Amino acid sequence: MIEVRNLTKHYGAVRAVNNVTFSVEAGDILGFLGPNGAGKSTTMRVLTCYTPPTSGEARVAGLDIRKDSLEVRRTIGYQPESTPLYGDMTVRGYLDFMGRLKGLPGARRRSAVDDALQETGLTDVARRLVRNLSKGYRQRVGLAQALVGDPKVLILDEPTVGLDPRQIREIRSLIRGMRGRRTVLLSTHILPEVSLTCNKVVIINEGRIEAIGTPENLVGEMQDTLEARAVVQGDRVALEKAVAAVAGVKSVTLEDSTVEKRFEAAIRIDRSVEARPAIARAIIQAGGELFEFRTQGMSLEDVFLKVVSRGAPEAAEEDNHGA
């Protein structure tokens, strides 16, 4: 649905986006993840025909963003960064204006506005002035605006920024519910957002794509060791020895826990071996009690930090030398 090939965008001497290639299948929700200034918004602005690329190609629904610019813009619903709105209009008036801009005729526009209001839960505030709404509602109006006319492709630039946790959850579940029905490209610098709403992730840093994949396999690829934690009770030395003897266990350390006589075990397991049931059995057989046992996958956050800092070691080293 969205194809981007070797896209580069310069702003003067600044290379905001550098040779970026990725694609989004119809019905996918793709998360664009990167620190501030990584080139997320610039890529989105190119896709929405706000500004042309310096070089490279991009297609939306098979349409070239340069040759069929108007048609592309008709296909896309776009929520720009910081959700610009007209405060002097009512919610309905604003959505109606956006419907007019999209060229929807009378009756179809009315039902398109009704649908957008309903989908975003704004029907109750439809007659209120946008400027009198709370931040959460305004953010929803921004999303509703992108939804007017049921576009095939949604491009959302940080749709949850500045919301409280409950509102974030609402927006996320709204977007998650679109999977399969719409193609969504959303950007964020908040990690849980991606693992919670997207089925595909592009990690971008300093204008370059650093990693592409599903949240699960990105995490999987990045690590060969699984970290497990257990809360156990029993003879410390015996337990340590028993766990360490299990095939696939790389290391184990027991430390005093907050509860008396119980220990916290940190176990590192080879990912290629499923050693967890054997570990549990070994603890019991060694006369211990098992209170808690959980694995901590490397979080997307760890992946992200690893990926983003990959380009940085040189700079970090230089800093060290300087110090």
Partner 1 sequence: MAREASLGGGMGPILRREVQAYLTSPLFYVIVGIVLLATSVLFVFLVDQFALFSTPGGREYRPPGVELNATQFLIKNSYYMIHFLLLFTLPILSMRLIAEERKSGTLELLVTNPVRDWGLLLGKYFGALAVVALLLALTLPYPIAVQLLGGQPEWAVVASCFAGLILVSASYLSFGLFASSLTESQVVAAVLSYVGLFLLYIIGNLMSNSGGEFVRRLSEAVSIEPHFQSFTSGKIALIDATYFILFSLFFLFLSAQVLGMRRWKL
The site for partner 1 (CB under 8 A) is made up of: 10-12, 45, 48-52, 54, 70-71, 73-74, 76, 78, 80-82, 84-86, 88-89, 93, 97-98, 100-103, 145
Q: Backbone phi, then psi, for 43, in 5-degree steps?
A: -60, -40
Contact criterion met (CB below 8 Å) for 109 and 164? no
Tell me the closest approach of the beta carbon of residue 141 to partner 1, in angstroms: 12
- Least Å distance between CB 146 and partner 1? 10
C-beta closer to partner 1: residue 94 or 304: 94
Polymer length of the chain: 323
Shortest distance, position 316 Cβ to partner 1, whole Å: 32
Q: Select 109 or 182, whichever has its Cβ closest to partner 1.
A: 109
In the complex with partner 1, which residue's Cβ is closer, 54 or 299? 54
Measured from the CB atom, the residue of 100 and 281 that comes closer to partner 1 is 100
Strand pairing class (55-60; 63-64): antiparallel
Q: How far is the CB of 203 from partner 1 (least distance, A)?
A: 25
Question: In whole angstroms, how close is the CB of 222 to partner 1 at the nearest point?
Answer: 35
Q: Which is nearer to partner 1, 74 or 179 (CB)?
A: 74
Q: Whole-angstrom Cα distance, residue 123 to residue 111?
A: 12
Which of residues 88 and 292 has its CB atom nearest to partner 1 in the complex?
88
- Taking the C-alpha atoms of residue 11 and residue 145, their distance in angstroms, rounded to an integer, is 29
Q: How far is CA 113 from CA 183, 308, 310, in A?
A: 20, 41, 46
Closer Cβ to partner 1, 133 or 265, answer by number:
133
Shortest separation between residue 171's beta carbon and partner 1, angstroms:
19
Strand 208-213 with 289-296, pairing = unpaired
- 107 residue type, one letter: A
- Among 19, 77, 65, 37, which residue's Cα sits nearest to residue 205? 37
Which runs of E-coded beta strand occur in 131-260? 153-157, 183-188, 200-205, 208-213, 225-233, 249-256
In 141-174, which positions are buried (b, 16+ CB within 10 angstroms) versus exposed (e)?
A: bbbbbbbbbebbbbbbbbbbbebeeebbebbbeb
Longest dimension (CA), the chain: 78
**Least distance in Å: CB of 52 to partner 1?**
5
